[in-house]
Amino acid sequence: MSAIKLQPPRLALSPRQATLLLAGVLLVCLALPFVASAYVVSLLFLLFMWVALASSWNLLSGYTGYVSFGHAGFFGVGAYAAAILIWRLQWEWWLACLAGGVVCAALGAAIGGPALRLRGPYFAIALLGLSEVGRIVAVVWEPLTRGGLGISLPPTAELLPDYYAMLALAVAATALVYWIANSKIGLRLLAIREDETAAEVVGVPTTRYKLLAFILSAFFPGVAGGLYAWHVSYIDPGAVFAVSISVRTIASAMFGGAGTVFGPVAGALLLNLLAEVLWVRYPFFHPVLFGGLIIVILLVMPGGIVAVLQQRGVLPRSRRL
Amino acid sequence: MASADDAPILAVRGLTRRFGGVIAVDDCSFALTPHRVWGLIGPNGSGKTTLFNLLSGVLAPNAGQIVFKGQNVAGWPSHRITALGLGRTFQITRLFHGMTVLENMRVAARAADPARVAARADELIEFVGLNALRDEYAGNLSYGQQKLIEFMRILMTEPDVILLDEPFAGVNPVMENKLVDLIHTLLAQGKTFLITDHEMRLVMSLCERVLVLDYGHLIAEGPPAAIQADERVIEAYFGRRRSAAPSPPTPLPGGEGSSSGPLSQGERAGDEGIRGPLSPWERAGGEGASRPPSGSREE
């Protein structure tokens, strides 16, 4: 009886090397606004937003296998909650954005119980309805949301606070996924993805763990929506409840590797950078090209970048990735 | 006066489960006393796996009680029943294939201390001789190895009662011996087993008492020798005799008069219930075998 022998990975970093690499990347991100143009800083703001969205989606869907199309709903609710608090109650923008996250976490707690009784496509469709319900409520509830007119916020004078706030959110989402992936919680979430009945039988309170993942996963798009609203100074229902937000989030996470820590980070950065390039180069055809690209990528690499690199022996098989 | 060992650790009263018009388990009542190996047999479709699913909380009963350690756990979610000390394996192994052997063990651990969990997991993996595969994905293991690891994974939950659903199905003789040895070891440590399997030779050799299900009804209970001679059990397995003339009952697998193998499990275990390696169906064929040996009904 012998174990399957694997070649040692070509890119195996020691914990110290990995820490240094991450610290270096973080330092570069912190320093970039001082040397880069406003366009680049704004682009990075959006890239970090996609990182936060993809990582938080991964927390639920990558680890438990419950594929959620509800991120656009939480993004929109967070955006509206923050915008209303800033516009009507004159809250500080950062506090309003955090409150947007809390509102979404509470919403997640409220709808998670019934929604997580559903599995597979039924769960996905139920969550798809969240963004549509959110959009309709935002349109109809005019006294609070100004309906289709949208909400205008005071324009931000500086890019740096927004940039650093979104960077912090992306780092926080990734750090949380890393911590969970390397804890017993992460193992139990993975067990749910593998076989929920068997997970229950070995003692995993699956409902509790799924709900926890759902609530945490809802918090980050709420904050991201608030930051986005503050950054662009204007939101309307069609923009922040767009289903395309969910689709791009899912595509980003799957491109990098759902159920891994850094896959969704890499996927969000690469895919959305690519989307930007296509938009700049082909302003009329970029949606078609981007959609086609997503299909091709998912066909060629269904497990994502990290899985391909692990299979080819470039990266080690580790939950830390 | 009844000793503490005679008090049932698991008692089932009037347990019933329906699927539409089909009554898979019908008003079943029995009690398992601790520190014993109990057998659960019955033809295919008799409700054995449904009963296991009810006992372990995978399914909720339509009626009846399941009293485990003094608490009625009928309808409880599986994880609560597991936490109370009842573990089970599945007929077809259900390891987490995308996780390593060690991760499969860790996920089931009740202990909170990571060092203690790791030590226990290593101990159990080594116990079944699979320490070389501890970091391998469970999906890459052979079926027999998966059976052993699933068994070990349940032990991580520290159960007092262990339900084994067809533990010997698809397992080669070497693994089979390992499983039998393991059951004896755990029995000596005070565990209680309820085992269902179509491998009668092993069931009869391992079990002190056997329960027999047929069409969801509990039709017999007793020591293996009595079960093998029970007309209702024989009829359940082989059908009603066509001839009115009395004739000696066809022996069940492992019954009196059957040929003896070179070294049967029962001989190793010192149990008088075991006789030989021939399957019941090999010896039972011909007259009286009106029900096919397997596959006639779905579980």
Sign of CA dihedral B63, B68, B70, B72: negative
pLDDT digits (tens, 9 = 90+) for B6-30: 789 999 999 999 999 899 999 999 9
Q: Cβ(B277)–Cβ(B254) under 8 Å?
A: no
pLDDT band at B240 (very low <50, low <70, confident <90, very high): low
Model confidence pLDDT, tens digit, residues B140-197: 999 888 999 999 999 999 999 999 999 988 788 888 888 898 899 999 999 999 999 9
Residue A207 lies in a domain: yes
Q: Which of A187, A195, A200 sits opposite B78 (nearest CB)?
A: A200
B140: which chain A residues are within 8 Å (Cβ-Cβ)?
4
Q: In this structure, is residue A1 part of a structural domain?
A: no
Percent residues over pLDDT 70 in chain B = 78
d(CA A22, CA B24): 58
Mean pLDDT lowest among A85-89, A143-147, B55-59, B284-288: B284-288
Q: Which residue has the higher pLDDT, B139 or A302?
A: B139
Predicted pLDDT of residue B283 = 41
State whether residue B132 sits within 8 Å of chain A by CB: yes
Partner A contacted by B49 (CB < 8 A): no
| Residue B97 near chain A (CB below 8 Å) | yes
CB A243, CB A259: distance < 8 Å: no
> How far is CA A171 from each of CA A41, A52, A205, rounded to the nearest angstrom?
17, 8, 29
Phi-psi region of A152 (alpha: psi -120 to 50; beta: other; left: phi over 0): beta
Chain B's closest residue to A182, CA to CA, is B103
Instruction: Identify from A116, A201, A260 which residue to disrupt to test chain B contact, counting B C-beta atoms within 10 A and taking the largest count.
Output: A201
Q: In sequence order, what E strands does B93-230 have?
A: 161-165, 192-196, 209-214, 217-222
Residue A97 lies in domain? 37-191+203-311
3-class DSSP state for residue B29? Answer: strand
Domain of B201 in residue numbering reads as 4-89+161-167+192-284
pLDDT at A38: 93
* pLDDT-based confidence at residue B110 (cuts at 50, 70, 90): confident
Give the range among A156-160, A302-306, A312-316, B139-143 with minimum mean pLDDT.
Answer: A312-316
A14 inside domain = no
Q: Are strands B192-196 and B37-41 parallel, antiparallel or unpaired?
A: parallel
Which chain B residues contact residue A182 at CB under 8 A?
Answer: none
CA dist A110 and A211 (Å) reads: 10
pLDDT above 60 for B291: no
Confidence at residue B4, expressed as pLDDT on a 0 to 100 scale: 56
Over the stretch A228-252, which tens digit does the pLDDT of each residue have? 999 999 999 999 999 999 999 999 9
Q: Residue A11 pLDDT > 90, yes or no?
A: no
> Would you give the DSSP letter of residue B14?
E
Helical axes A243-256 vs A286-300, angle rounded to 10°? 40
Query: CA-CA distances (angstroms) from residue A45 to A41, A72, A167, A242, B120?
Result: 6, 18, 7, 19, 47
pLDDT of B261 strictly over 80: no
What whole-number distance in Å separates Cα of residue A271 and Cα of residue A293? 9
Beta strands in chain B (DSSP E): 10-19, 22-32, 37-41, 63-68, 71-72, 86-88, 161-165, 192-196, 209-214, 217-222
Whether residue B38 is contained in a domain is answered as yes
| Per-residue pLDDT at A153 | 94
3-class DSSP assignment, residue B282: helix
User: A153-209 pLDDT, tens per residue?
Assistant: 998 878 899 999 999 999 999 999 999 999 999 999 999 999 999 999 999 999 999
- A67 CB-side CA count, 13 A: 13
Residues within 8 A of A (CB atoms), B 136-175 only: 136, 140, 145, 153-154, 156-157
CATH of the domain at A149: 1.10.3470
The pLDDT of residue A2:
45
Of the two residues A214 and A9, the one the predictor is more confident about is A214
Using the predicted structure, report yes or no on whether residue B285 has a pLDDT greater than 80. no
Task: Identify the pLDDT of residue A157.
Answer: 78
Q: Is B226 exposed, middle or buried (0-12, 13-18, 19+ CB in 10 A)?
A: middle
Q: How far apart are CA A89 and CA A81, in angstroms?
A: 11
Burial class (CB in 10 A: 0-12, 13-18, 19+), A200: buried
Mutation target vs A (from B54, B56, B59, B79; most A CBs, 10 A cutoff): B79
pLDDT band for position B256 (cuts 50, 70, 90): very low
Contact A229, A239 (CB under 8 A): no
Looking at every residue in chain B, the average pLDDT score rounds to 81
Which pair of tokens denotes residue A52? 């936060």
Measure the CA–CA gap between B59 and B25, rounded to whole angstroms. 12
Mean pLDDT of chain A: 92
Interface test with chain A among B53, B55, B73, B78, by most A beta carbons within 10 Å: B78
Inside any domain, residue B13:
yes
pLDDT tens digits for range B67-109: 999 999 999 999 999 999 999 999 999 999 999 999 999 999 9
Of the listed ranges A210-214, B35-39, B55-59, B292-296, the least confidently predicted one is: B292-296
Nearest Cα residue to A116 out of A150, A67, A156, A78? A67
CB B47 within 8 A of CB B24: yes
pLDDT of res. B3? 57
Lookup: tokens for A104: 């979404």
- pLDDT band at residue B111 under the 50/70/90 scheme: confident
Q: Is ipTM > 0.90 here?
A: no
> Each residue of A101-129: pLDDT tens digit?
999 999 999 999 999 999 888 999 999 99
Q: How many domains does chain A have?
A: 1
* Residue that wins the pLDDT comparison between B237 and B284: B237
CATH number of the domain residue B244 falls in: 3.40.50.300
Quick check: is B25 in a domain? yes
* pLDDT recorded at residue A9: 63
Distance from CA of B83 to the nearest CA of A (A): 6
Q: For residue A40, what are the contacts with CB-CB under 8 A and spacing of at least 6?
A: A32
Total domains in the fold of chain B: 1
Q: Which two tokens stand for residue A268?
A: 């969000």
In a domain, B172, yes or no: no
Task: Report yes or no: B291 and B237 within 8 Å, Cβ to Cβ.
Answer: yes
Short-list A5, A29, A79, A72, CA closest to A236: A79
Task: Tell me the β-bridge partners of B39.
Answer: B195, B210
Average pLDDT, stretch A134-141? 96
Tell me the torsion sign for CA atoms B225, B227, B228, B229: positive
Residue among A203, A205, A206 whose CB faces B157 most closely: A203
pLDDT of residue B127: 86
